[in-house]
């Protein structure tokens, strides 16, 4: 079948939250109505119920809901008493939030380049960056695939470091140990964090986030920090922040959590379709599947080879196929995060990725017609 590429017959979206909502509309609407009628907008019973449901989903880990995934990272670092001057290791190919909260707390970001295939922190480079001031490693499970946690945890243990997993993009993915056992993303380190930003794999209808920890005492401290440092109202034992998950968002998430595995399955089906139909094109490299992780496919991110990525992106868009670049400017080249002594060439893999990565549409509502059209358009590209 030959398509008319001059104008896309479909309204293809990077994510389609409207169609996703319409499929579960009656449940969502009822959940929202219940909160509206109860008027328990802050710390209503749905917040606790959601935390419990997510804990059950995540193998019983302690779950502390909060206002967003950025706060989750900040609260995690506050709870571990990280202080100005402490060094924290993180991948340089990540979303700004990870480095942003470190800057706010006066911590020193120690960037590390990523593995070109997995897009995640290059484990082999961690040991060399550890100093007397290093306090924590923050792996980011980028695009939905876990960083290689087993060696990271080993290095952390040997050097007495905390591990904070930024699982904003990987909720529902599983890390696979070398002996075959599995653990949910975000439940492996000292603390795990996630985001319920609408387009994340489990998204609410506004901002939301959560913090995970296996340590009960630490969970209690995190809970206090997220709520003005108080356990008892108006009694402030430690310095905290105001970072609560709204009851409305919790009620929505309580409905959507039931569908998370189905959503993950659907994303994986889309990925398998792309893999199957785009496998033998010499101008793109498809996402690599690490043996140490299942994939949440928050993004389906390919790398262009020998062609101008931005020209390719414009071509796709001209055919009605949206595509996104995560992330176009590496953190160490951002005006606000440029560290002394770092410039162009400091992190070659990340810099290369910033010029070659491209994420294709992937969401829970994609149709075979859309996928077929997207693949035909990609195959028809002439550089």
Which range touches ligand PLP (CB under 6 A), out of 67-75, 151-159, 212-220, 273-281?
Answer: 67-75
Size of the site for ligand PLP (CB under 6 A): 15
Residues 198-217 that bind ligand PLP (CB under 6 A): 207, 209
Least CB distance to ligand PLP at residue 217 (A):
25
Quick one: which of 62, 68, 109, 213 contacts ligand PLP (CB under 6 A)?
68
In the complex, least distance from residue 96 CB atom to ligand PLP, rounded to whole angstroms: 8
Residue with smaller CB distance to ligand PLP, 70 or 190: 70
Give yes or no for residue 195 binding ligand PLP (CB under 6 A): yes
For helices 260-278 and 368-379, give the axis angle rounded to 10 degrees: 30
* Rounded CA Rg of the chain: 21
Name the residue nearer to ligand PLP (CB basis): 360 or 377: 360
Stretch that binds ligand PLP, among 21-29, 91-99, 122-130, 350-358 (CB under 6 A): 91-99
Name which of 145 and 169 has its Cβ closer to ligand PLP: 169
Q: Does 197 engage in binding with ligand PLP (CB under 6 A)?
A: yes
Q: Which of residues 123-142 bind ligand PLP (CB under 6 A)?
A: 140
Strand partners, 295: 145
CB of 133 to ligand PLP, least distance (A): 24
Q: How far apart are CA 293 and CA 314, in angstroms?
A: 32
Shorter beta-carbon distance to ligand PLP: residue 8 or 243: 243
168 touching ligand PLP, by CB under 6 A: yes
* In the complex, least distance from residue 32 CB atom to ligand PLP, rounded to whole angstroms: 20
Tell me if 320 contacts ligand PLP by CB under 6 A: no
The answer to the question of residue 97 lying near ligand PLP (CB under 6 A) is: yes
Cβ atoms < 10 Å from Cβ of 56:
12
- Is residue 98 a contact residue for ligand PLP (CB under 6 A)? yes
- Rounded to whole angstroms, the Cα distance separating 273 from 267 reads 10
Kindly indicate which of the ranges 47-55, 106-114, 162-170, 231-239 contains the residues binding ligand PLP, using the contact rule CB under 6 A.
Answer: 162-170
Hey, which residues between 268 and 297 contact ligand PLP (CB under 6 A)?
none
**3-class DSSP string for 256-324:** HHCCHHHHHHHHHHHHHHHHHHHCCCCCEECCCCCCCECECCCCEEEEECCCCHHHHHHHHHHCCCCCE
Q: Does 169 bind ligand PLP (CB under 6 A)?
A: yes
> Which member of 8, 20, 70, 354 binds ligand PLP (CB under 6 A)?
70
DSSP string of 38-105, one letter each residue: HT--SS-HHHHHHHHHHHHHTTT-EEEEES-HHHHHHHHHHHTT--TT-EEEEESSS-HHHHHHHHHT
21, exposed or middle or buried, with CB in 10 Å at 0-12, 13-18, 19+? Answer: middle
Neighbours of 382 (CB within 10 A): 6
Show the tokens assigned to 105: 């707390």
Determine the Cα–Cα distance for residues 343 and 333; give it in Å rounded to an integer: 6
Q: By CB under 6 A, tell whether 312 contacts ligand PLP.
A: no
For residue 270, which of 370, 196, 203, 146 has the smallest C-alpha distance?
370
299 binds ligand PLP (CB under 6 A): no
Q: Which residue has the tokens 């380190």?
A: 189
Does 248 sit near ligand PLP (CB under 6 A)? no
**Does residue 120 interact with ligand PLP by CB under 6 A?**
no
Residue 95 in the binding site for ligand PLP (CB under 6 A)? yes
Is 243 a binding residue for ligand PLP by CB under 6 A? The answer is: no
Letter string b/e over residues 296-325, b meaning 16 or more CB atoms within 10 A of that residue's CB: bbbbbbbbbeebebeebbebbeebbbbbbb
Binding site for ligand PLP (CB under 6 A): 68-70, 94-95, 97-98, 140, 166, 168-169, 195, 197, 207, 209
């Amino acid at each position: 079948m030959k398509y008319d590429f001059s104008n896309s017959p479909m309204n293809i979206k990077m994510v389609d939250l409207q169609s996703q909502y319409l499929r579960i509309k009656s449940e969502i609407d009822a959940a929202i109505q219940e909160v509206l009628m109860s008027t328990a907008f802050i710390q209503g019973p749905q917040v606790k119920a959601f935390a419990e449901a997510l804990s059950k989903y995540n193998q019983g880990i302690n779950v502390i809901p909060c206002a967003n995934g950025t706060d989750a990272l900040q609260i995690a670092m506050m709870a571990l008493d990280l202080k100005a001057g402490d060094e924290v290791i993180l991948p340089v190919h990540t979303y700004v939030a990870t480095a942003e909260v470190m800057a706010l707390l006066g911590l020193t970001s120690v960037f590390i380049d990523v593995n070109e295939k997995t897009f995640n922190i290059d484990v082999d480079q961690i040991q060399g960056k550890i100093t007397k001031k290093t306090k924590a490693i923050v792996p980011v499970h980028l695009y939905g695939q876990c960083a290689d946690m087993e060696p990271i945890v080993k290095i952390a243990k040997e050097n007495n470091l905390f591990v904070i997993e930024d699982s904003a993009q990987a909720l529902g993915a599983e890390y696979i140990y070398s002996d075959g056992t599995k653990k949910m993303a975000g439940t492996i380190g000292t603390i795990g964090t996630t985001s319920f930003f609408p387009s994340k794999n489990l998204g609410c209808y506004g901002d939301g986030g959560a913090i995970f920890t296996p340590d009960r005492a630490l969970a209690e401290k995190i809970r206090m920090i997220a709520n003005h440092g108080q356990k008892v109202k108006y009694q402030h034992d430690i310095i905290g922040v105001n970072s609560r998950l709204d009851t409305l968002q919790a009620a929505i998430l309580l409905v959507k959590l039931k569908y998370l595995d189905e959503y993950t399955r659907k994303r994986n089906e889309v990925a398998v379709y792309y893999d199957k139909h785009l496998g033998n094109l010499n101008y793109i490299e498809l996402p690599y599947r690490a043996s140490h992780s299942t994939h949440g496919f928050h993004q389906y991110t390919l790398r262009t080879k020998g062609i101008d990525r931005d020209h390719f992106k414009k071509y796709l868009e001209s055919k009605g196929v949206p595509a996104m670049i995560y992330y176009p400017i590496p953190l160490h080249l951002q005006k606000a995060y440029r560290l002394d002594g770092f410039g162009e060439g400091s992190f070659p893999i990340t810099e290369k990725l910033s010029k070659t990565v491209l994420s294709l549409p992937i969401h829970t509502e994609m149709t075979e017609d859309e996928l077929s059209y997207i693949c035909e358009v990609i195959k028809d590209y002439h550089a």
